[in-house]
Amino acid sequence: MTIGLGLSQRETGILDSIPEPVVIVDNQRAVVAVNTAAGREIGVGYAGRALALSLRHPVALAAVDDVLSRGVSRSVEVTFRTPTQRTYAMLAAPLQSATGTASEGAVLVFHDVTSERRAQQMRADFVANASHELRSPLSAIVGFIETLRGPAKDDAAARARFLDVMAQEAARMTKLVEDLLSLSAIEADKHVAPQGKVEVARLLQRVTEALQGRAEARSVRMSVELRDAVPDVAGDADQLAQVFRNLIENAINYGRPDTDVRVTARAVDRVGETTRSGVAITVEDEGEGIAPDHIPRLTERFYRVDPGRSRKLGGTGLGLAIVKHILNRHRGRLSIASDVGRGSRFTVTLPAA
Ligand SMILES: Nc1ncnc2c1ncn2[C@@H]1O[C@H](COP(=O)(O)OP(=O)(O)OP(=O)(O)O)[C@@H](O)[C@H]1O
Ligand SMILES: [Mg+2]
């Protein structure tokens, strides 16, 4: 309910209908009226008190003073830290008197910009991360070019070695650019439901065949098992292949040499909280596992438990972010379970076609 000094019931009702916090102060900066949203969201709930008692924010108070003394509108950003951190754009405008001459006070309207600010921050972090990831292989390549032009000019053995490293670094940059493009392509049509029907056995066979060389290089044995009759899933075959390529590649990379990577598929009655039936596909490794506090963050872009190790394996830290985005588009789920020291289990559930 609005609390206001000398407001009519109708005025009170109008203020309360405004979904954003509204505070009215007089020209002594005392609160004259507040609506329900102001009490609930920004903790300014009492009329008759000095504004500074409930809005302890110097920048906001200075802006209100400016409005009161100069009769101009001002807009500033105010961050409240409790109960959770939220940021508001506060617009303060002079309150015109009934005769329209002098200002009687100010009207403050608070617009919640928390999610906009968060999205801006995420974009900025993403650009900073991507630039950093591109810059390190690039500096390595530039360094080797200099060495090849100077000290190693006439050293055939060094030349061959440096060219190898340069090729590796260039391959890393290529993979990063491809992963970034792939992420933005998936995001661009995230609201377009995928067309098509995918046969699970064929899908898993195609992916494991492509990764056979990689598995052999690390002495990892891969197996695919279909428990009972598994229905086809609804989806885009190439994108789903990308999901399982990423998961199985991780299992091979982060598994231990001379162990097994097991892929199993089974029918399930429901996918997530939905009532749709589907298929659960599990990729299980016998690697060193993942500590519980890392698990919720694995699907963040560029998040890696051990960045040095991931880079050495040619990883960019985008694999699981791509998996998550593809699964969102497919209304699928990813769940991760791990026993430190024993291995990890990544389970994907997808709705049946
Ligand atoms: N099966 C696994 N066992 C242990 N750790 C894993 C496993 N899968 C993923 N991780 C951890 O999660 C991190 C993120 O995985 P993700 O696939 O997103 O990136 P990446 O493998 O480092 O690089 P990319 O997949 O882009 O080549 C990895 O760096 C690794 O630390
Ligand atoms: Mg990966």
Ligand nearest to the CA of 346: 1
Mean pLDDT on 312-330: 93
For residue 273, pLDDT beyond 90: no
| Cα angle: 183, vertex 312, 320; to 5 degrees | 30
For residue 68, pLDDT beyond 70: yes
pLDDT of residue 102: 61
Residues with CB under 6 A from ligand 1: 179, 246, 250-251, 254, 285, 287, 290, 298, 303-306, 310, 315-320, 344
Over the stretch 228-257, which tens digit does the pLDDT of each residue have?
Answer: 899 999 999 999 999 999 999 999 999 999
For residue 3, pLDDT beyond 70: no
For residue 4, pLDDT beyond 70: no
Q: Name all domains of the chain by residue range, CATH numbers in brackets.
A: 3-112 (3.30.450.20), 113-188 (1.10.287.130), 193-353 (3.30.565.10)
Ligand nearest to the CA of 252: 1
Q: Please identify, by atom number, the ligand 1 atom nearest to the C-alpha of residue 307.
A: 29
CA of 272 to the centre of ligand 1 (A): 23
Q: Whose CA is nearest to atom 1 of ligand 1?
A: 251
pLDDT of residue 348: 98
Distances (CA, A) of 48 to 15, 33, 163, 305: 17, 8, 76, 54
Which of 237, 264, 231, 239 is closest to 353 using CA atoms?
231
Please report, rounded to a whole number, the percentage of residues in the chain having pLDDT higher than 90.
Answer: 82
> Please, are residues 176 and 129 in contact by the beta-carbon 8 Å criterion?
no
Place of tokens 């990813």: 334
> Please, are residues 316 and 301 in contact by the beta-carbon 8 Å criterion?
no
CA of 171 to the centre of ligand 2 (A): 15
Count how many Cα atoms sit within 13 Å of the Cα of residue 142 in the half-sphere of its side chain: 6
Q: Which of the pair, 3 or 278, is modelled with greater confidence?
A: 278
Mean pLDDT on 40-53: 91
pLDDT of residue 99: 64
> Please, are residues 326 and 316 in contact by the beta-carbon 8 Å criterion?
no
Mean pLDDT on 159-188: 93
Q: Whose CA is nearest to atom 13 of ligand 1?
A: 304
CA of 283 to the centre of ligand 2 (A): 13
For residue 1, pLDDT beyond 80: no
Mean pLDDT on 187-216: 95
Which of 288, 290, 269, 292 is closest to 280 using CA atoms?
269
Mean pLDDT on 72-84: 91
Cα 121 from chain centroid? 11
Cα 143 from chain centroid? 34
Helices and strands per DSSP (H, E), number in the chain: 10, 13
Q: What is the mean pLDDT of the chain?
A: 92
Three-state secondary structure call for residue 101: coil
Mean pLDDT on 193-211: 96
Q: Which pTM value belongs to this model?
A: 0.79
